[in-house]
Amino acid sequence: MSKRKNTIIIICFILVILLGAGAATYPLIASINNERTQSLVQTEYEEKLQQLDTSEIDEALKKAHEYNKTISTVQIEDIDKIKENLPDYEDLLNLANNGIMGYIEIPTINIDLPIYHGTTGAAMEKGAGHMEGTSLPVGGVGTHAVISAHSGMAGAKLFTDLDKLKLGDVFFVTVCNEKLAYEVDNIAVVELTDIDLIRIDTQQDYVTLLTCTPYGVNTHRLLVRGHRVEMAEEAIAEVEEKVVPEGSTWIEKYAEGLVIGFIASFAAMLLLLIVLLIRRRQKKKTGNIAGSERK
């Protein structure tokens, strides 16, 4: 019976260790799978655009610019008041018929994400989302597009490393085969309800990247704004090739989790060893007492 109990204890501890190992490796495996899916989606988007006539792409861009011109006449908090006069948001720039309007590339933090319509849960789990009510990310003076993504997700990096960006860093937004470059000129942390920094400036072409902060707390918003800069294809390629990504917050947190998991597993094995030694000593002591009584 005692031997059976020892076996059960050993099995339980082994299961705990295996579960811990599974929990430790899940974020990395999920992140790799997520990035692979995002890459496939982006490839599919580009392939579908190649199948379209130039006139179809030009028409889509024309409608997007018209939409931007219309919403520039009202404050962002009043967009709902003119929605009935606007085309269906989901149809704009949806040339691939999969909800993707383009993708965003941030070389400094090694990010390349599809941009979906809206910031609903479904869209944000798969990549970045365009904030409805802000300008569509097709560029132009008097526009201010906002692109949002989650931070701190266990199975996906997304915008977790957005806090690594610095003034002067460049990111790219690609829509309808047009790659637009933006240089970071403002970084701010604001309250969740503060929208002053995402309003349109009639003299500027802005894109703001948005995520929640601090890591794992999410009580505020981190806003990283960039203004449009003209860059030749050669200059864009040079930025993409030469930029060395900063250390990743997501990787740092994952490493911390691995260390904690290792310590917990080591403690569990040590505890198992102690329990077995105590039980063996007690069994030996009981046997010695029984032997003495028989004498």
**Tokens representing 250?**
């997501």
Torsion, Cα 90 94 100 105, to 10 degrees, reads -120
Q: Pick from 176, 138, 173: which is nearest to 56 by CA?
A: 176
Enumerate helices (H) and strands (E) in the chain, giving the number of each.
5, 8
Residue 209 corresponds to which tokens in the numbers above?
């990247």
Residue 161's contacts (CB-CB under 8 Å, 6 or more residues apart) are: 109, 110, 111, 246, 248, 249, 250
Phi, psi values for residue 174, rounded to 5°: -115, 120
Residues carrying an active site annotation: 150, 212
Tell me which H or E stretch contains 121. Answer: helix 121-126
3-state secondary structure 175-194: ECCEEEEEEEEEEEEEECCC
3-state secondary structure of 58: helix
d(CA 177, CA 172): 12
Q: Is 218 left (phi over 0), alpha (psi -120 to 50) or beta?
A: left
Spatial separation of the C-alpha atoms in residues 175 and 18, rounded to whole Å:
45
Does the CA dihedral 133-123-39-106 come out positive or negative? Answer: positive
